[in-house]
Each structure stands twice: as C-alpha cells, then as structure tokens.
Amino acid sequence: MAITKITADVIDTGTITADNLNATLDLTGKTVTVANASTGDSDTTAANTAFVQQEIAALVDSSPSALNTLNELAAALGDDANFSTTVNSNIATKLPLAGGTLTGALTTNGVINTGTSHNFAINTPNSLRINIDSNDSATDQVFVIGNNQTAVDASNNVFFKISEDGYVDITSGILQLATGSNRRLFYRAGNNDVLLEAGSGLFYRQDIGNTNHSWFTGNSERMRITSGGDVGIGTTNPSSNLHVETNTHANIRIQAGTNSSASLRLRNDAVDWDVNCQTNDNFAIYNHTVGSERLVIDSSGNVTKPGHPVFDVTSSASALTGPISYNTVYVNVGSHYNTSNGRFTAPVAGTYMFTTMYIKNATSGVCRRRFILNGASSGMMNGRQLRMDSGQSYGDNGTMIIIVTLAAGDYVQVDQYVGASHGGHAYEQFSGFLIG
C-alpha cells in the first residue's frame, strides 16, 4: 500500500530519510511542529516561533518601548559608531573627584561647600595661598591670605587675615590706600605708632605708647591731642585744654553768616558767659545764665556797662543830722542803695567814688559832714570831712568827694555829725559808683 501521509512515527522508524526528501519542500498551508528549544541553545535544531519570541524577549529584557529596537538604541547613542571613544574623550575633559588642574575659568551660580571640618584654599603659581576657615573650626572661622601654599593658617605665613569676629589683621602693617607712594596706613613697630600718609607726607600719626594723636601737613605737625585730652595747635606740648601757639601773631576766628551773631561761650559748674559779636555789630559780654548784658562796646567804641553799680539820691526832709537816710532815688542800678537806712553796700570788691553835697541850715554854729564805713564812729580817709565854720549862716554850701577801696559787703553812709544841713531836694545829695 502506498504511503499517502507522512507522520511522525514514519519518520521516527527511519522509513523516510533525508535522501528520500526533495531538495525543495513546499510546506505552504502545512503545519510543522518542532520541539521548543531551551533558552540559549545554539545547535542546529530547528527553532519554532515560540523559541524565537522567547529569545527576543530575553534580549529586550523588559526595556521601555522607546529603547526595545536596535534602531532606537542607535538613535539614543547618537548613531555614533565610535560611541565608546567619544564618551571616554568627554570624560577626560572633566575634573576628577580626587582633584586636578583646571585649564579655564570656574563659574558657579551656587555655593561651593567644602563639607564638615574642611577648609577651602586657593593656591597661585607664586606660593600665594588664600585660605578660608584655616583651622577647620566651625566656631573660629578665618579668612587668610598667606605666602606658603601648604602651611598657611590663622597664625603662620600670614599676609592678611579676617577673623570670625570681624577683626582685620595686616601682618606687614601697611594698608595701601591708592596708587603711588605715601598713600598708606601702616604701623611702625620700632616707633610703636600708626601713620596715615597722604600725598607728599604724613597726614596723621598716633603714638600708641603715650596715646598722642597728631595731624600733619607737609610732614610738619600742625595739631596734637595728648593722652590727657589737651589740644595743641602749633605746639607739641599743649599746657592747657586748648593751646594755640605761633611764631607770629596768633588769632582764632569764629565767623557767622549774614545778620547772625558769633559767640564764644565759657562755662564753669554753674554759669554761662558769652563773648558775643552781636547782629547790630556791637561787642558784648553777656551773662547767658541770667540773660543780661554786662558790658557793651558799640561800633564807635563807646563802652557801656548796663549792670554797673551807680546811684544818686536825695532827701525831702529838712534839718538833717547824724547818719542820713535819703528817701528820694534818682538812679540806683543794681539796687545797692537802701532808702531805709541810707546805706550803699558794695556788691563786689573794687574802687568806688562817692560824692555828697549840702547847704548849711540857718545856724551860726559849726557844721561838719563825713563818710562812715560799716557804721564806724569815725570818718573814712583819716577823718576827712566837709566843714562849715561858725559865724556863717544859711546858704553856705560845699561838696565832698572821696575815692575808696571797698570789700564786697562793705557799706558807706553820709554822717552829719556836727550841726545840721538845710535838707531838701535842691540842696542835698549823695551819689557814688564803681570805678573798677
């Protein structure tokens, strides 16, 4: 019987061998089933579609859909057939974590953080080092510029240092303020002083040893403040709070604006006095505490003393005898004359001038008048007196003047100690003033 169907058992028994097969087999529309090979098999066994899908899945290995074909992988690598070389070349241009040399500028828009317990340093080719937090301390951070690339810290090989508390230390002692020479602030250890130079010479000097402060022009000292606070202008040894000295005429000028006054105010523990050039061009000495002028010199040279003691008094009474109390006052600047007891009391120690005038009462006897001091029983100036002799009658008159030195609080009276005066405003007078 002829074989009309090839089955597996026919092939298995060897009835049909490879030599019995046509060189070309058309299996269209036929189903050929072969065993599924294991993953990774590489022999000549026929591979079914399940095996192919299995191997493709193993190759793709759950890759995302955008990278699960060779074309997509090539595109992701930039279609660069030399991708490995390109990557290695690019990596070679990067700075290793272990450090290296930059050939260009370093630019950052963020913070460079050195981490915990590490300082940050920049070295230059000429042994200059900039060191930040030079002692790796979080509580004593220091910015340092020094002259040794490996041994610069807060105290070694330092040119310039800023400590955490803001103190600035310039080890060389010189701070250049501008280009050119003699424009610098520096400390001289040998002289123990600090100098500020400007232009062609010294401008300021502080002597640390005795804490003097000095100002200069053209290397010549012009002003000094001593450790005690005395100020000297033109002298290096001021002998008072303000000492101005020159080899020629010395003057101090205080100038005010238009229609304004210029004053120099002097004060002790209780009173202010002004030496004043007034808006009306008068010169005045002014008691600022009480608000009163004490001396005025006008532009023509006339001198007035508004508070200067002066008085002029008389009496309306008649037949005056003994110490006279004059009851009518014409002038009494300062109110130093007292009408109740007839006394003028000296407000200050000084030299005074007193005058008295009277006419004799209707009597033929002797009349005598004198000045008495502090109620004494004898006359002043060795008994100086104004005498009108006997035999004369009403109408005889005379004037007496004395100049005397008084202490503050002394008082002077007129004493009609013999006879009587006529009295009355027209005939009786007692006056006086302070000369100086």
Tell me, what's the pLDDT at 203? Answer: 65
Is 90 exceeded by the pLDDT of residue 115? no
User: At a CB cut-off of 8 Å and minimum separation 6, what does 6 contact?
Assistant: 16
Q: Are residues 290 and 350 in the same domain?
A: no
* 216, part of any domain: yes
CB contact at 8 A, 234 and 246: yes
Could you please report the per-residue DSSP string of 95-152? PPTT----SS----SS-----TT--EEEE-TTS-EEEESTT--SSS--EEEES-SSS-
Q: What pLDDT sits at residue 18?
A: 66
Residues 416 and 315 in one domain: yes
Answer whether residue 402 is part of any domain.
Answer: yes
Most confident among 3-17, 166-180, 278-292 (mean pLDDT): 278-292
Q: Are residues 300 and 294 in contact, defined by beta-carbon separation less than 8 angstroms? A: no
Mean pLDDT, the chain, rounded, equals 82
* DSSP type of residue 177: -
Residue 74 lies in a domain: yes
Range of the domain at 314: 310-434
Segment 383-396 shows an average pLDDT of 81
Q: Does 130 score more than 80 pLDDT?
A: no
Domain boundary among 138, 172, 206: 172
Percentage of the residues of the chain whose pLDDT score is greater than 90: 41
Shared domain check, 415 and 327: yes
| 308, 421 contact by CB (below 8 A) | no
Sort 23 into a burial class: Cβ within 10 Å, 0-12 / 13-18 / 19+. Answer: exposed
Residues 292 and 314 in one domain: no
Statement to judge: residues 46 and 157 lie in one domain: no
Q: Which two tokens stand for residue 336?
A: 């130093």
The structural domain count of the chain equals 5
User: Does residue 344 sit within a domain?
Assistant: yes
User: Can you give the CATH number for the domain in which 333 is found?
Assistant: 2.60.120.40
Predicted confidence (pLDDT) per residue in 69-89, tens digit: 778 778 877 888 888 898 888
Same domain, 318 and 299: no
Beta carbons of 359 and 422 less than 8 angstroms apart: yes
Identity at 412, one-letter amino acid code: V
CA distances in angstroms from 241 to 171, 218, 224, 263, listed in the order given: 37, 26, 11, 19
pLDDT digits (tens, 9 = 90+) for 215-263: 887 778 889 999 888 999 999 999 999 999 999 998 889 999 999 999 9
pLDDT at 99: 74
DSSP state of 360: B
Same domain, 378 and 278: no
Residues 332 and 424 in one domain: yes
For residue 307, the 8-state DSSP code is: T
pTM equals 0.52
State the pLDDT at residue 152. Answer: 63
Residue 14 to residue 46: CA distance in whole angstroms: 19
**Rounded Cα–Cα distance for residues 213 and 232 (Å):** 10
**95 vs 378 pLDDT, higher one:** 378
Torsion of CA 377, 383, 386, 388, to 10 degrees: 80
Residue 96: predicted pLDDT? 82
pLDDT of residue 153: 65
**pLDDT score for 11:** 63
Tell me, yes or no, whether 7 lies in a domain: no
Per-residue model confidence as pLDDT tens digits over 342-380: 999 999 999 999 999 999 887 768 899 999 999 999 999
Q: Three-state DSSP class for 387?
A: strand
Q: Tell me how crowded residue 224 is: count the other CB atoms within 10 A of its CB.
A: 21
* Residue 308 contacts residue 321 (beta carbons within 8 Å): no
* Confidence band, pLDDT 50/70/90 cuts, at residue 406: very high
- 418 band by pLDDT with thresholds 50, 70 and 90: very high
Query: Tell me, what's the pLDDT at 13?
Result: 63
Residue 349 is predicted with a pLDDT of 97
Q: How far apart are CA 25 and CA 27, in angstroms?
A: 6
Do 207 and 216 contact (CB within 8 A), yes or no? Answer: no
pLDDT tier, 173 (very low <50, low <70, confident <90, very high otherwise): low
Residue 321 falls within a domain, yes or no? yes
Indicate if 318 and 415 belong to the same structural domain.
Answer: yes
Is 99 part of any domain?
no
Angstrom distance (rounded) from CA 403 to CA 399: 14
Which two three-digit tokens encode residue 135?
Answer: 């002692």
Do 386 and 349 reside in the same domain of the chain?
yes
Average pLDDT over residues 319-345: 97
Whether 315 and 391 map to the same domain: the answer is yes
Q: How far is CA 68 from the centre of its chain?
A: 75
How big is the chain, counted in residues? Answer: 436
Does one domain contain both 165 and 212?
Answer: no
pLDDT at residue 133, as a whole number: 63
48 found inside a domain: yes
